[in-house]
């Protein structure tokens, strides 16, 4: 559906969380996609290219696993949006970041589909849904707000 939003958890990156000394500019300090995760990201892109609604924008958190997922699925389309960065290791940041992310989504008025590649904690904070790696949550507007309308399995 034109003007729609899909929140997608990054593809498979084995493990949980990241070390305390994460540097967003150094992928060696982060949990990254496995070979299976990279293949999953490519399949996700293929699925979206087969749909009738074109992907017109791709936003990503600044973490390496979300950037790589977005780049493999939607080459040369990614725009980083820090509001969608993981707050798994910093739960105190959740309310502010979720408000910022919600404001960006509310401002979205594109003609096609917006895909946001982010993290489980962000998607759960925005929708209440706990997605698997590579899973997407479709949103629709209801009473002027975005609400979860369905899920796309990886």
Length of the chain: 154
pLDDT at site 111: 82
Question: Coil, strand, or helix at residue 123?
Answer: helix
pLDDT at site 92: 87
Per run of 10 residues, the mean pLDDT along the chain (length 154 residues) is 84 80 87 95 93 90 96 96 91 91 90 93 94 93 84 86
pLDDT at site 20: 75
Question: Coil, strand, or helix at residue 80?
Answer: strand
Structural contact between residues 103 and 82, judged by C-beta atoms closer than 8 angstroms: no
Name which of 85, 47, 44 is nearest 64 in CA terms. 85
Residue 1 DSSP class: -
Pairing of strands 78-80, 4-9: unpaired
Tokens representing 111? 């003609």
């Amino acid at each position: 559906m034109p003007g729609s939003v899909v929140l997608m958890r990054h593809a498979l990156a084995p493990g949980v969380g990241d070390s305390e000394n994460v540097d967003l500019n150094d992928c060696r300090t982060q949990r990254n996609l496995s070979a299976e995760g990279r293949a999953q990201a490519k399949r996700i892109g293929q699925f979206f290219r087969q749909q009738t609604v074109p992907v017109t924008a791709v936003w990503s958190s600044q973490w390496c696993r979300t950037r790589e997922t977005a780049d493999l699925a939607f080459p040369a389309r990614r725009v980083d949006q820090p509001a969608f960065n993981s707050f798994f290791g910093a739960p105190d940041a959740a309310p502010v970041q979720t408000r910022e992310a919600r404001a960006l989504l509310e401002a979205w008025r594109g003609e096609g589909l917006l895909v946001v590649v982010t993290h489980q904690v962000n998607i759960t904070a925005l929708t209440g849904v706990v997605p698997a790696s590579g899973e997407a949550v479709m949103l629709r507007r209801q009473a002027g707000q975005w609400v979860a309308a369905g899920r796309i399995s990886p």
